[in-house]
Amino acid sequence: MSQNTLAAHPPAAARTAAPVFKPRRKTGTFVFNALVFLLYLFLLAPLLIVVVISFASNQYLSFPPEGFTLDWYAALPGQETFMSGLRISLITASAVTVLVLILGVPAALALARFRFKGKAAIQAFFLSPLMIPSIVLALGLVLLFGPLKLNNTYAGIIIGHIAVTFPFVVRTTLMSLATTDTSCEEAARILGGDSWTVFRRITLPLIRPGVIAGGVIAFIVSFDEAVISLFVAESGLPTLPVQVLRYVENSADAAVAALSVLLILFSMAVVVIVERVMGLRKAL
């Protein structure tokens, strides 16, 4: 009998204890969610305002909206400056992505897999553009490109953008390399693979997430870059960000807002597609 009461006791206690904890956890979750919501609101507010304004019938860039219209979107294809800017930006960003991967991946490979003199210094040098203000870099490039006749050329912008995006590619590739087992490469070499075959069939597939992440970041950074493009090629080859800057200087309607919304969607699409297809998150 006494055994029975003992056995029955703990579950009863647990039952009474459970409702005491539940509401407290609920309040905690609510406060946490509210804080997260506010944080996101704060971060995304500028974007949201741009989205709202792009549909507003206000004559000038202003808030709050006075009515709904799709005119700003409809007008975009007719804006020759935007369309040519977009073309220049896409060409630049594509070329930069390809070239920076061709340069950056082997550089990262050398840093990760070989031992040589001055390795630490070279690594610091490769990553240094992240720490230099891009306006300083841009000024230097203009002065350097003058005598080389590279100002206002694709070559000039692309070189400038490679300098800015190179550290990203080296970084993401190094991260992937650090997590791959070098014995896979050794096994492939022992099985008869020469250096190039081993790189192509083993190393590259293994570090693919890092390479893709680096490529995506390089594309977006180059596509978005304004300072170097402005300094190096404002008059000759104005990229989309340069055209947007110019447009805002001269006129104040919401066409820029509509363009911005499309660019946001474009960037999101790139990231989402790459994530879905290749698993970007693994590398970041």
Partner 1 sequence: MNNPKLSIVDLTKRYAPGLDPAVDCLSMSVEEGHLVALLGPSGCGKTTTLRMVAGLMDPTSGSIMVDGKDITQTPVHKRGMGMVFQSYALFPHMDVAQNVAFGLQMRKVGSKEQNRRVVEALDLVKLGHLAGRQVKELSGGQQQRIAIARALVVEPTLLLLDEPLSNLDAKLRENMRTEIRSIQQRTGATTLFVTHDQDEALDMADRIAVMNGGIIEQYGAPAEVYERPQTHFVADFIGQANFFASAVVADDGAAADGERSYVVDVDGFGRFGAVGAAGLAGSTHEIVVRPHRLKTSLQQPAGPFIEGVIERVSYTGDSLSLGLRAGGKELLSQMPTASSGIPRLGQTAYLSWDPADAFIIPGTAGIPHGTERPATADALAAQDVA
CB atoms near residue 109 (< 10 Å): 18
Does 139 interact with partner 1 (rule: CB under 8 A)?
A: no
Q: Which two tokens stand for residue 283?
A: 């590398």
d(C-alpha 258, C-alpha 200), whole Å: 43
In the complex, minimum distance from the CB of residue 103 to partner 1, in angstroms, rounded to a whole number = 24
Q: Which of residues 211-240 bind partner 1 (CB under 8 A)?
A: none
129 binds partner 1 (CB under 8 A): no
197 binds partner 1 (CB under 8 A): yes
Residue 107 or 202 with smaller CB distance to partner 1: 202
Piece of 93-101, 118-126, 129-137, 185-193 that binds partner 1 (CB under 8 A): 185-193
What is d(CA 249, CA 215) in angstroms, rounded to the nearest whole number?
Answer: 32
DSSP-derived 3-state class of residue 149: coil
User: Of the two residues 160 and 210, which places its CB atom closer to partner 1 in the complex?
Assistant: 210
Q: How many CB atoms lie within 10 A of CB 116?
A: 8
Q: Is 190 in the site for partner 1 (CB under 8 A)?
A: yes
- Nearest-approach distance from CB 110 to partner 1, in angstroms: 18
Nearest residue (CB) to partner 1, 153 versus 180: 180
Rounded to an integer, what distance in angstroms lies between the CA atom of residue 58 and that of residue 209? 45
| Residue 188 lies near partner 1 (rule: CB under 8 A) | yes
CB-CB contact of 255 with 75 (8 Å): yes
When binding is defined by CB under 8 A, the residue of 139, 206, 226, 245 that contacts partner 1 is 206
Instruction: Kindly state the smallest distance separating residue 15's Cβ from partner 1, in Å.
Output: 42
Judge contact between 172 and 211, C-beta under 8 A: yes
| Least distance from partner 1 to the Cβ atom of residue 279, Å | 12
- Residue 184 binds to partner 1 (criterion: CB under 8 A): yes
How would you class 103 by CB atoms within 10 Å of its CB: exposed for 0-12, middle for 13-18, buried for 19 or more? middle
- Greatest alpha-carbon pair distance for the chain in Å reads 102
Interacting residues toward partner 1 by CB under 8 A = 181, 183-184, 186-194, 197, 201-202, 205-206
